[in-house]
């Protein structure tokens, strides 16, 4: 076959070839996105889409100021109560395990620019990036509860893998007795997740609080995840089937805190040795 006939062949079926090329490109982008540790593309595009969505969010953020205020006031009240219980109004002693804890975990506030919750794998875009010392692997919470984990950051923006994502699994605890379990999202309702591996027998009941276990490098222990909404135990099974109502409203998320864990590198390097 001569070169000429090959060229003629390509020209003749150019639409089909173009179709194949474009579809392969699209599949390549999807692959890049799906691989958790290779989010280079995301970092590159975060800046562009971030700037556009920030304009939109700047306009619409005025409409929700009331709701944001209410949630901040509620958190203030909670923290005030906690401070009173802890210190009783008297000055605190210089070093205590609590204060040491708060030095190890630093909280950085950020604004949510866009939050997905309608997809099978959801992401959240926030307005702080590598210039603000944000880096992949940081946990993200809000005054409602746990939000997700940072997966990539550009200079001014970061992408957060939301709790509503298929590759995320959070080590959790039953707040009542500290029993360990694992929280996953099954891709249905943005407010419901499944709690797996809670072993029988357990005093778990509907309405019980589920918090983070604190064993991962992403979150300190005791961050609110949600409450038990429905539970059942098949006869003879070792684990309960539990549906958790997530405490974070992903459709109304406006401000979040990034968790900077000072010992993250240390803990990770030790875990890698195992």
Partner 1 sequence: MKINVLRLFFQFLVLVLLQVLVLNKILLFGYATPMVYPLFILSLPVNMPRWIELLLAFFMGLLIDLFSNTGGMHAFSLVLLAFARPVILALMSPKEGYDPGEIPSLYRQGPAWFSVYAVLALFIHHLAFYVLEVFSIAYTSFILGRTLASILFSLLLILLIEVIFFINPKRAGL
- Give the interface with partner 1 as residue ranges (CB under 8 A): 14-15, 18-19, 22-23, 25-34, 41-42, 45, 48-49, 52-53, 56, 114, 116-123, 125, 159, 187-190, 251
From the CB of 191, what's the least distance to partner 1, in Å?
9
Q: In this complex, which beta carbon is closest to partner 1, that of residue 29 or of residue 200?
A: 29
From the CB of 15, what's the least distance to partner 1, in Å?
5
Residue 126 bridge partners (DSSP): 112, 158
- What whole-number distance in Å separates Cα of residue 140 and Cα of residue 179? 23
Q: In this complex, which beta carbon is closest to partner 1, that of residue 14 or of residue 265?
A: 14
Q: In this complex, which beta carbon is closest to partner 1, that of residue 26 or of residue 67?
A: 26
- What whole-number distance in Å separates Cα of residue 50 and Cα of residue 42? 11
User: What are the structure tokens assigned to 46, written together?
Assistant: 């975060």
Q: In this complex, which beta carbon is closest to partner 1, that of residue 190 or of residue 226?
A: 190
Interacting residues of 130 by C-beta distance below 8 A, sequence separation 6+: 153, 154, 155, 158
Q: In this complex, which beta carbon is closest to partner 1, that of residue 113 or of residue 138?
A: 113
From the CB of 269, what's the least distance to partner 1, in Å?
30
Q: In this complex, which beta carbon is closest to partner 1, that of residue 251 or of residue 271?
A: 251
From the CB of 117, what's the least distance to partner 1, in Å?
7
Per-residue H/E/C for the chain: CCHHHHHHHHHHCHHHHHHHHHHHHHHHHHHHHHCCCCCHHHHHHHHHHHHHHHHHHHHHHHHHHHHHHHHHHHHHHHHHHHHHHHHCCCCCCCCCHHHHHHHHEEEEEEEEEEECCCCCCCEEEECCCHHHCCCCCCEEECCCCEEEEEEEECCCCEEEEECCCCCCEEEEEECCCCCEEEEECCCCCCCEEEEECCECCCCCCCCCEEEECCCCCCCCCCCEEEEEEEEECCCCCCECEEEEEECCCHHHCCEEEEEEECCHHHHHHHHHHC
From the CB of 146, what's the least distance to partner 1, in Å?
19
From the CB of 217, what's the least distance to partner 1, in Å?
24
From the CB of 56, what's the least distance to partner 1, in Å?
6
Q: In this complex, which beta carbon is closest to partner 1, that of residue 98 or of residue 251?
A: 251
């Amino acid at each position: 076959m001569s070169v000429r006939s090959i060229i003629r062949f390509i020209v003749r079926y150019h639409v089909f070839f173009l179709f194949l090329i474009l579809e392969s490109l699209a599949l390549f982008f999807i692959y890049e996105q799906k691989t958790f540790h290779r989010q280079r593309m995301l970092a590159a595009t975060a800046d562009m889409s971030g700037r556009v969505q920030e304009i939109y969010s700047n306009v619409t953020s005025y409409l929700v100021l009331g709701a944001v205020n209410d949630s901040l006031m509620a958190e203030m009240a909670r923290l005030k109560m906690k401070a009173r219980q802890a210190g009783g109004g008297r000055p605190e002693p210089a070093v205590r395990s609590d204060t040491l804890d708060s030095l190890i975990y630093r909280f950085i506030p950020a604004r949510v620019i866009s939050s997905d919750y309608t997809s099978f794998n959801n992401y959240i875009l926030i307005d702080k990036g590598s210039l603000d010392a944000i880096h992949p692997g940081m946990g993200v919470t809000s005054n409602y509860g746990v939000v997700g984990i940072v997966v990539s950051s550009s200079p001014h923006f970061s992408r957060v893998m939301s709790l509503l994502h298929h590759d995320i699994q959070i080590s959790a605890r039953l707040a009542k007795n500290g029993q360990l379990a694992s929280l996953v999202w099954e891709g249905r309702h943005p407010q419901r997740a499944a709690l797996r591996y809670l072993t029988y027998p357990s005093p778990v009941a509907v309405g019980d609080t589920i918090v983070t276990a604190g064993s991962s490098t992403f979150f300190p222990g005791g961050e609110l995840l949600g409450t038990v909404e429905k539970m059942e135990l098949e006869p003879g099974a070792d684990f309960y089937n539990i549906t958790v109502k997530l405490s974070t409203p992903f459709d109304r998320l406006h401000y979040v805190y990034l968790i900077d864990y000072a010992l993250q590198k240390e803990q990770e390097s030790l875990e890698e040795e195992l």
